[in-house]
Structure 1
Amino acid sequence: MSRSEPDAEWVKRFLSVPRFRPYVRDCGGNEALALALYRWNIEVSSALHPALNFLEVLLRNAFHNELTSHYVRSAWWTVARLAGDGALLIAGARRRLNRTCRHEPTSDDVVAAMPLGFWVSLLNRDNEEVTWRPALHRAFRPGYRGPRREIHAHLEHLRMFRNRVMHHEPVHMRHLEADHQRIYELAEYLAPGAAKMLRPVDRLAEVLARRPVPYLGRRRPGLTQTEM
């Protein structure tokens, strides 16, 4: 490494010792290797963005379409009695849109403004009678015909994973191949043919091949028929 390149001391000074510590620990105290792992974690997180982005857009559009059909209105949230903070989240999104949009916010504007956590919450137990049974079970067919709790568990897992990626947390200890597989399988349930659309912009495999240290974590299974 040349003198002009950042080194481990630079990382500890400007990115913090606590942030660098897990990488050093997982590299057996080797700071040079830890620096390589830190850089790779940034690269692999970036490589995960296309698949995570694609799944989130597919999910919200599929849910919106099914709920619009069931409630016979695009602003279905005005009649669906959502449990938890769902109604408050929508109201907050509408207030923000009213401040920033140059036009009256449309239903599409509201849908795009809602976070992934909102869409996943529509599959929790408290919303089963309002969303899952009348409408959202259809979003995953014909590929998936299992119970709500299974698909909710997998989406909740990916929501937490997405947050780690987007908030720049370490993901190098995860079985990223399995996380990746889970994204593809859920995307295919929502939109058959999604994998063919996504693969040309997905470079995760080539980044995984450059992993500077062996996989260190515990296997995370993908969503398979045997689990359903």
Structure 2
Amino acid sequence: MATGLECPLAPEGRSAEWAERWLSAPRLAPYLASCEGDVCRALELYLWNVGLCQVLVADISHFEVALRNAYDRVLRGGWHGADHWLLDDASPVRAPIMRTSRSKRLLDVNVANRKAISQAQGRSHDPSDPDQVISNLMMGFWAHLTDRSRERDLWIPYLNRAWPRGTDRAELNRTIYAINKVRNRVAHNERLFNPARDEFLPVTVDSDIIRLLRGLCPEAAELLYGDEGETSVEKYVGDHPAPADVRF
């Protein structure tokens, strides 16, 4: 990627000292490793990665909004408790759901949900307004609603209705988990290339985002992406080739 910036390092003495003061040695290290120790190329790769994050975060945000609104819609339509499903202690999102862990311990899998909702209420101007609370919930909250422990209480009676008929819950959960994992890396401006697992590759995640959005809200997907074959990430790397041999 052509950054338009001239690297302020003389070719004969490319010290990483100032770059480490900026980024920290641990953050800079994988960029240096991918660029054979060349600090200027490493910084170019860093800025290329920043651009990649900026492209991907837009698509993630489109999907995250659609996901939370779809789940709110089907839960509002199906839950008939005394209060909104997010605030009602009897709701399957809040009520204790006891499951046996691999270590044979009995655990309430909704403890994390109640904590996340309470934290979201703390970030809301009006903690009694479910719309405000919903907008303050992190994507991880929505990602965990389709895990195996909640299949009987949430997926079967409610959340499957947000998706096309025949959607496989386990596969969907794995995909949303990967999207959320990459979202968190993007939020902290972490390295996206050379991930530990292929499902975290930016080009894979972006393709999954668009595919799932077409299932949740095809009109939004049509507005944003039309019927183009290329994803936003593919367009970015096509216009801005990576300055190093990295997997993305």
TM-score range, shorter chain: 0.7 to 0.9
Q: What is the Cα deviation at residue 62 of structure 1? A: 0.3
Mapped contact 1:51–1:198 kept (Cα < 8 A): no
1:141 counterpart residue number: 164
Identity %: 28
2:32 counterpart residue number: 24
Asked which structure has the greater CA Rg, the reply is: 2
1:182 counterpart residue number: 208
Mapped contact 2:74–2:162 kept (Cα < 8 A): yes
What is the distance in 1 between the residues matched to 2:118 and 2:39?
48
Higher relative contact order (CA 8 A, sep 6+): 1
1:98-109 map, 5 Å: 101=125, 105-109=128-132
The answer to whether residue 246 in structure 2 is matched with residue 216 in structure 1 is yes
2:85 counterpart residue number: 76
Change (3 A) 1:3 1:157: closer
Change (3 A) 1:214 1:95: closer
Aligned amino acid, residue 169 of structure 2: R
Mapped contact 2:7–2:40 kept (Cα < 8 A): no
Normalising by structure 2, we get a TM-score of: 0.76
Q: What is the Cα deviation at residue 203 of structure 1? A: 5.1
Mapped contact 2:70–2:216 kept (Cα < 8 A): yes
Q: What is the Cα deviation at residue 8 of structure 1? A: 4.8
Q: What is the Cα deviation at residue 11 of structure 1? A: 1.6
Mapped contact 1:81–1:130 kept (Cα < 8 A): yes
Q: What is the Cα deviation at residue 123 of structure 1? A: 0.7
Q: Alpha-carbon deviations, 1:175-216, whole Å to 9, x = none?
A: 32222101101111111133222238x854442121333553
Q: What is the Cα deviation at residue 10 of structure 1? A: 2.6
What is the distance in 1 between the residues matched to 2:203 and 2:139?
22
2:189 pairs, out of 149, 168, 175, with 168
1:90-169 map, 5 Å: 90-97=117-124, 101=125, 105-142=128-165, 145-169=166-190
Mapped contact 2:60–2:209 kept (Cα < 8 A): yes
What is the distance in 1 between the residues matched to 2:7 and 2:202?
31
Q: How many residues align?
A: 210
What is the distance in 2 between the residues matched to 1:18 and 1:111?
35
Higher fraction of helix: 1
The answer to whether residue 236 in structure 2 is matched with residue 207 in structure 1 is yes
Structure 2, gaps ≥5 residues long: 1-5, 10-14, 94-108, 196-200
Structure 1, gaps ≥5 residues long: 220-228
Mapped contact 2:202–2:233 kept (Cα < 8 A): no
Q: What is the Cα deviation at residue 104 of structure 1? A: 6.4
Normalising by structure 1, we get a TM-score of: 0.82
Q: Alpha-carbon deviations, 1:54-88, whole Å to 9, x = none?
A: 00000000000001111036711313133331122
1:9-20 map, 5 Å: 9-20=17-28
Mapped contact 2:92–2:154 kept (Cα < 8 A): no
Q: Which runs of 4+ in 1 moved over 4 A?
A: none
C-alpha RMSD over aligned residues: 2.5
Mapped contact 2:34–2:245 kept (Cα < 8 A): no
